[in-house]
Amino acid sequence: MLEYALLAGLLFGLYYSLVGLGLNLIFGVMRIVNLAHGDFLMLGAFAAFWLFNLFGTNPLVSVLAVLAVFALLGLPLYYLFVPRLLAAKDPEMLSIILFFGLSQVIEALTTIAFGTSERSIPGNVLGSGPVRFLGQSFPIAWVVSGMASGLAVLGVYLYLYRTRLGYLTRAVMVHREEAVATGIDVHRVSAIAFGVGLALAATAGVFAPFMLGSVTPAMGVDINITSFAVIVVGSLGNPLGSVLGGIVYGISLMFMQSYFSSWANLLPYLLLIGILLVRPSGLLGRQVRRA
């Protein structure tokens, strides 16, 4: 029981890392809170669902389409909303209000378009049969989703630490005004980061039917709560802190389900309260300012 919970927690942890990653990247670069994050994840899930149902597209192929579409969608959305927000006196608070509104609009439109029922993709499209590992057996869909999440996290690491654009992005994360002063086109860098953030959320959405059982237009709120727990535990503003936060969250969730199942839904709140009391800057908090 213990080994199973631990290993399942690691798989889920990788997935939850991806769930929180886009939100943290956007906050880290722009210091705005994208409360529509869960809804972009939901849109990614519905995109994968419809691509599979209409054309039989394998979700692993859908990921590529979703990545491209949402990254491109992020650019106009950035220029529509974010520069105005950043020019305001309190962009963080205003962003919460603005993206909450956007979240409601997305949920309402998706409900009108697709209805309220649960939707999912058969688990066997990612492979058949369970995978045995260290004497434990896991659904192959979990393993594939976990690995894909790991690859996405690796991609973000390479983007931030091995590309020129990544260096510029980190410069903006450290100090936006100084980045402007040194001649960095912060809007271009931020717009790309915004697009990448949305693409990461949508990518997590592609795997949501396998990791979360089913998807509905209303799932965004729960995803947001989970995402906040993940990134606050890891470190708010440090995208790679999401990995640690995700793994802590995933393992904690599986242990809660094993030993205190009735209370498992309290986990995000318990983690949030605990980390804010003990280490408010998150487990990797120091690196926020040294990004």
Q: Which residues contact another protein by CB under 8 A?
A: 1, 4-5, 8, 12, 107-108, 111, 114-120, 122-124, 129-130, 136-142, 210-214, 216-218, 222, 253-254, 257-258, 261-265
Shortest separation between residue 37's beta carbon and another protein, angstroms: 17
CB of 54 to another protein, least distance (A): 14
Q: How far is the CB of 10 from another protein (least distance, A)?
A: 12
Question: Smallest distance from the beta carbon of 172 to another protein, in angstroms?
Answer: 35
* Nearest to another protein of 257, 287 (CB atom): 257
In the complex with another protein, the residue whose CB is nearer, 100 or 114, is 114
Closer Cβ to another protein, 42 or 173, answer by number: 42
In angstroms, give the least distance from the CB of 254 to another protein. 5
- Transcribe the chain into DSSP letters: -HHHHHHHHHHHHHHHHHHHHHHHHHHHHH----TTHHHHHHHHHHHHHHHHHHH---HHHHHHHHHHHHHHHHHHHHHHHHHHHHHSS-HHHHHHHHHHHHHHHHHHHHHHHH-SS-B---GGGG-SS-EEETTEEE-HHHHHHHHHHHHHHHHHHHHHHHSHHHHHHHHHHH-HHHHHHTT--HHHHHHHHHHHHHHHHHHHHHHHHHHSS-B-GGGHHHHHHHHHHHHHHH-TT-TTHHHHHHHHHHHHHHHHHHH-GGGGGGHHHHHHHHHHHH-TT-TTTHHHHT-
Considering beta carbons, is residue 58 or 120 the nearer one to another protein? 120
Give the closest residue to 118 by CA, choosing from 197, 45, 27, 10.
45
Q: Which is nearer to another protein, 83 or 123 (CB)?
A: 123
Minimum distance from CB of 222 to another protein (Å)? 6
Name the minimum Å distance from CB 23 to another protein: 19
The residue (of 12 and 40) whose beta carbon lies closer to another protein is 12
Q: Which is nearer to another protein, 55 or 260 (CB)?
A: 260
